Amino acid sequence: MIARPISYGLASAALVAAYDTGPAKAADRWSDTDVDLTRKEIKQHYIAEQLHLCCYCGLPDPAAHGLDWDVEHIAPRNLHPEFMFTPENLAVACHECNGHKGSKETLLDPSTSTYPSTADAFLIVHPHFDDWGDHILRDNLAYAAFTPRGEWTIKACHLNRFAGRSIGLIFPISDTRYEEPVRRLLDGGMTLQEIVADLGGAI
C-alpha cells in the first residue's frame, strides 16, 4: 500500500491548481510540454514510495531513471480527466501492466464527481487503499486471487502472462478455460507453481 501520496512542489502545485480550477478538463493536457517536470516529479515520487515495485504485478525493477515505468492513473485519465492530478489516483506501473489495463473503467460508480476515499469504490486493487497481499497471491510467476478485486486486477492486467510465457501456454493462463482445473488442483493441495507446470503439460 502506498503510504504517502505525492505532495507537489511549488511549480507543480500551481500547475495542478490551475488545471483543477480551470473551466475544462482534457486528458491530452497530460502530454503538454509544460507538464514534463510534473510528470517527472510524480514518477520519481512513486518509484521511491513503491520501493521499485509495480503497483499491479508487484514485481521489482531497480531502475531509478524512470524509463522502465509508466505513471499510472488508477481511474483512467481518458475516462476521468478531472482526476488526472489527484495524488491518490497516481502510482507507477510497469509498461506491460499499464498497457494491458489501458483505459478500462475501474470505478464502481463512473458518474462520481469526487474522487472516492475507500477501496470498495473500485473494481481494481487500489495501491493507495488496499494491501496488495490481501487480494492477490503470487507464487513465483503465477498469480491467484483472494477477492473479486484481486481477480479483476489479475485479468485486467494479464498478470499470469509471466507464467504463460515461461511454460509456453497456447492461451493466456488467465483465460477462463483454466479456471475449473486451477480451482480443482488448488483444492487438491497443489501449489500455484505445480498447477502452472501441470497445465502446461496438459493443454
State the cell numbers at 150.
484481486
pLDDT tens readout for residues 55-65: 999 999 877 67
Distance CA 191, CA 163 (A): 13
Binning pLDDT at 50, 70 and 90, where does residue 153 land?
very high
- Grid cell listed for 13: 502545485
Reading the block at residue 149, the C-alpha cell is 478485486
Angle between helices 36-49 and 10-21 (to 10 degrees): 110
Which pLDDT band holds residue 190 (cuts at 50, 70, 90)? Answer: confident
- Average pLDDT of every residue of the chain: 88
Phi, psi for residue 23 in degrees, rounded to 5: -75, -25
Residue 81 phi/psi, 5-degree rounding, is: -60, -20
Distance of CA 185 to the CA centre of its chain: 28
